[in-house]
């Protein structure tokens, strides 16, 4: 690929991203930063966990994104009695040509964009049904593996208020989400626009950015372009240092090696388990998307810092002392980022 | 990918040029810092060499040497630490040129080639931002601020020429005894050289003569004589005459350095000034000088054949009459030969023959010593009679001090002496004070 061709590819990525952003902003009031994070995770090839109080637009965001992407979209409302087969699909006895056979009936998981609404309402058994699909883009039912059509994008929503009848997500499942996006309560101006635009005769909708037949192919090409963004070794070192700094000093998981950053005292006090290596992958891939949006083909320190909080805040397992002291993962990650400035050239 | 290869080569070449330039600036800084430190140390040593005593100078010299060596090592370490390799240069240029890590990424791509369709874009973008990382912008050619340190150091070094030299402390002429008067005399202000009657001498030449005296009387250097025990007791010893002869090996180096500074700047050694000043005005010193003088055979007359020793001698008219005068006296014996020197003021200031043990025979009660004493006597008389007009004519028989009376009722001055007011024209250097005082005081005591 020549320099001109590659430059056009970068510009195309920027244009597509901006169009998607515009379509989402046309339907969703506010949440601009959250929407950008969701799009970054989408083009980085990851899945997103959206946490917010009821009525803040979590489901609307996912549905609107599906419409804008013009990809197949399915929604799963997680309930207490939801079974794994209800998600992945099951084999059913079907009669065809006078013969009865077990036929696999794909579940709602088989879609390009999947909305897992209130995922913490179902049992961990059902939640874990998503693990294989999210990590490997495949489902195994009755010993048979079925590939999921790319691109496969899971947006799960989380209601932080209700504790009764909910099941906290296992750390293994949490770790498979690329970003965790927090949706805050809208401010007064946004609230006024929300109630004004959603109570009229016509509801705003999003126009598709891609044609149906080419959407999947183009999105895959854009995702491949993101992975080709260049990373200098000192930035890989920086990302690794950030991930390593989230581990407490007495962690049994991490080998006893000298780290580039001094262990933070609050990390040691409040964190039981730090981020996994997937956190480092999320940092670099998210930084690559940020670089492309800025028209660059190489990442910088600032690109990594911009995606650090959504990439790491759901990977830190806090202890009871943190709950008692009201410590949020975001504050701990900000401390790590502040300390990591010493690593910058 | 020939396009990217060409572009990478161009980026690499520019980066190498920048690296050379940045490292040159680093080397410049270190060199300037080291040079300024050396110059400052030299200025400090010169000032201390002129103003401080030998012991203080010794301490300062070795301390300065250690500081300069340490600072030099620090400059080398600093240069080594700031020496840039290719990666470090790329980071620095990225930062200064606001290239957002493009160069660092390109350098890594060059070192670790890996397939990426976006590499040509990175090269193109980096080259497109060329004005941001031009050599003149990243490392402009200008005189570094550290050069100001060198200039300041040079100015400090030049300012050392304005340092006031050591001068002998002024001695009060209002002394009861001639010896005291003699001891009290010092400095150029005491007696003004006569405008008539020959060449005048300057402080510097007087001091040089004093220096000569000091060096001549250094122990072990006296011809044929060892250091007198009386000398060791505080007479015209090394310290008495301000000799900076080293006591040990390390002191000799600093001592020589200090002497070199003094020679270069034409100053007298501070030890000489201190020692002589400490002895001025004390009777005990005079008494000691008296004993020293008694113990030592006086020559006083062996006017050294070192005619070129001092500037006193230079310019003096070594007329045959002088020689004749030198040979004239000697009432008790054959005329004494002073090896061509005549006891004129300038020639008489040569101390080579003074106090020489082997010249004692010559000095004892002979005409040569009388002739010398005449000179001293006239000197003393001139001290006592300051502000009197210079002697122009006539003999001074009976009008001189005790020394002259000892010589048998006065000795007629020769023509040269009549017109040569030793005191008025020549400043007696402080180095001579002790000798002259001893010579004179020994005669006054008799």
Three-state DSSP state, B54: helix
Question: If you measure CA to CA, which chain B residue comes closest to A7?
Answer: B121
Question: If you measure CA to CA, which chain A residue comes closest to B91?
Answer: A345
Measured CA to CA, the distance from residue A105 to residue A83 in angstroms comes to: 15
- Cβ B122–A345 below 8 Å, yes or no? no
B-chain CB neighbours of A233 within 8 Å are: 108, 112
Q: What angle do CA B118, B121, B126 make, to 5 degrees?
A: 130
B-chain CB neighbours of A236 within 8 Å are: none
Average pLDDT of the residues in A198-212:
87
With pLDDT > 90 as the criterion, what percentage of chain B qualifies? 11
When mean pLDDT is compared across A134-138, A293-297, A298-302, B6-10, the lowest value belongs to: B6-10
Contact of A38 with chain B, judged by CB distance below 8 Å, is answered with no
Residue A185's pLDDT band (cuts 50, 70, 90)? confident
Tell me, what's the ipTM? 0.84
Measured CA to CA, the distance from residue A168 to residue A174 in angstroms comes to: 10
- Cβ A234–B95 below 8 Å, yes or no? no
Measured CA to CA, the distance from residue B325 to residue B51 in angstroms comes to: 43
- Cβ A296–B125 below 8 Å, yes or no? yes
The pTM is what? 0.64
When mean pLDDT is compared across A144-153, A257-266, B142-151, B389-398, the lowest value belongs to: B389-398
Q: Kindly state the tokens that stand for B207.
A: 């001091």
Contact of A253 with chain B, judged by CB distance below 8 Å, is answered with no
A244 within 8 A of A254, measured Cβ to Cβ: yes
Q: What is the pLDDT of residue A136?
A: 86
* Omega cis (within 30) before A334: no
Q: What is the pLDDT of residue B411?
A: 59
**Residue among A233, A299, A300 minimizing CB distance to B108:** A233
B-chain CB neighbours of A345 within 8 Å are: 91, 94-95, 104
**Residue among B4, B95, B109 minimizing CB distance to A230:** B109
Question: If you measure CA to CA, which chain B residue comes closest to A303?
Answer: B100
- Given a cut of 50, whether residue B246 has pLDDT beyond it is no
H/E segment holding residue B187: none
CA A196 from chain center: how many Å? 30
Measured CA to CA, the distance from residue B227 to residue B220 in angstroms comes to: 6
Average pLDDT of the residues in A136-144:
86
List residues bridging with A76 in a β-sheet. Answer: A116
Nearest to B226 by CA among B239, B217, B235: B217
- Given a cut of 60, whether residue A286 has pLDDT beyond it is yes
């Amino acid at each position: 690929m020549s320099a001109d061709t590659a430059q056009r590819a970068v510009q195309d990525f920027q244009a597509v991203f901006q169009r998607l952003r515009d379509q989402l902003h046309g339907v969703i009031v506010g949440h601009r930063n959250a929407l950008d994070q969701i799009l970054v995770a989408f083009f980085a090839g990851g899945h997103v966990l959206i946490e917010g109080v009821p009525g803040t637009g979590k489901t609307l965001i996912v549905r609107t994104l599906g419409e804008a992407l013009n990809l197949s979209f399915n929604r799963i409302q997680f309930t207490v009695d939801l079974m794994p087969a209800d998600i992945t699909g099951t084999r059913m006895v079907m009669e065809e040509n006078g013969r009865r056979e077990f036929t696999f009936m794909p579940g709602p998981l088989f879609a390009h964009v999947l909305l897992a609404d209130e995922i913490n309402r179902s049992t961990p058994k059902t939640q874990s049904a998503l693990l294989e699909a999210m990590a490997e883009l495949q489902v195994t039912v009755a010993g048979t593996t079925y590939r999921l059509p790319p691109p496969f994008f899971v947006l799960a929503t989380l209601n932080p208020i209700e504790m009764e009848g909910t099941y906290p997500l296992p750390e293994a499942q949490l770790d498979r989400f690329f970003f965790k996006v927090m949706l805050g309560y809208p401010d007064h101006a946004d609230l006024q626009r929300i109630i004004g635009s959603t109570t009229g005769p016509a509801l705003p909708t999003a126009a598709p950015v891609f044609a149906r037949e080419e959407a999947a192919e183009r999105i895959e090409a854009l995702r491949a372009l993101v992975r080709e963004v260049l990373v200098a070794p000192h930035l890989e070192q920086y990302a690794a240092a950030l991930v390593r700094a989230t581990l407490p000093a007495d962690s049994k998981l991490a080998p006893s090696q000298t780290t580039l950053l001094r262990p933070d005292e609050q990390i040691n006090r409040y964190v039981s388990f730090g981020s996994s290596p997937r956190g480092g992958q999320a940092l670099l891939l998210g930084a690559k998307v940020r670089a492309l949006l800025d028209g660059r083909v190489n990442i910088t320190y600032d690109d990594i810092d911009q995606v650090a909080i959504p990439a790491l805040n759901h990977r830190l397992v806090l202890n009871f002392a943190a709950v008692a002291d009201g410590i949020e993962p975001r504050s701990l990650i900000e401390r790590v980022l502040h300390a990591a400035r010493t690593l910058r050239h | 990918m020939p396009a990217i290869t060409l572009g990478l080569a161009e980026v690499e070449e520019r980066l190498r040029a920048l690296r050379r330039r940045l490292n040159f600036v680093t080397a410049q800084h270190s060199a300037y810092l080291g040079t300024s430190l050396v110059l400052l140390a030299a200025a400090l040593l010169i000032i201390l060499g002129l103003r401080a005593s030998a012991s203080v100078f010794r301490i300062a010299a070795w301390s300065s040497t250690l500081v300069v060596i340490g600072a030099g090592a620090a400059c080398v370490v600093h240069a080594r630490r700031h020496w840039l390799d290719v990666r470090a240069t790329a980071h620095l240029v990225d930062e200064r040129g606001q290239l957002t890590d493009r160069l660092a990424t390109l350098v890594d791509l060059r070192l670790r080639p890996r397939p990426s369709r976006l590499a040509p874009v990175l090269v193109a973008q980096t080259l497109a931002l060329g004005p941001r990382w031009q050599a003149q912008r990243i490392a402009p050619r200008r005189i570094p601020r550290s050069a100001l340190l060198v200039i300041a150091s040079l100015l400090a070094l030049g300012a050392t020429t304005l340092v006031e030299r050591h001068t002998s402390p002024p001695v009060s002429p209002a002394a009861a005894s001639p010896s005291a008067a003699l001891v009290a005399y010092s400095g150029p202000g005491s007696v003004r050289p006569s405008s008539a009657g020959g060449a005048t001498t300057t402080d510097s030449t007087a001091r040089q003569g004093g220096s000569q005296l000091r060096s001549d009387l250094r122990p072990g250097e006296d011809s044929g004589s060892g250091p007198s025990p009386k000398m060791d007791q505080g007479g015209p010893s090394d310290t008495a005459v301000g000799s900076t002869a080293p006591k040990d090996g390390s002191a000799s180096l600093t001592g020589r350095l200090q002497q070199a500074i003094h020679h270069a700047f034409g100053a007298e050694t501070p030890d000489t000034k201190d020692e002589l000043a400490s002895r001025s005005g004390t009777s005990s010193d005079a008494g000691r000088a008296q004993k020293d003088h008694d113990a030592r055979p006086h020559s006083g007359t062996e006017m050294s054949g070192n005619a070129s020793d001092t500037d006193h001698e230079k310019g003096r008219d070594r007329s045959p009459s002088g020689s004749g005068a030198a040979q004239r006296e000697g009432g008790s014996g054959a005329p004494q030969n002073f090896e061509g020197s005549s006891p004129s003021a300038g020639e008489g200031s040569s101390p080579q023959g003074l106090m020489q043990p082997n010249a004692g025979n010559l000095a004892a009660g002979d005409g040569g010593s009388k002739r010398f004493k005449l000179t001293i006597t006239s000197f003393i008389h001139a001290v006592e009679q300051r502000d009197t007009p210079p002697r122009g004519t006539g003999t001074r028989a009976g009008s001189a001090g005790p020394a002259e009376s000892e010589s048998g009722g006065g000795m007629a001055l020769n023509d040269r002496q009549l017109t040569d007011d030793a005191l008025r024209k020549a400043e007696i250097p402080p180095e001579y004070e002790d000798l002259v005082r001893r010579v004179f005081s020994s005669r006054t005591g008799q």
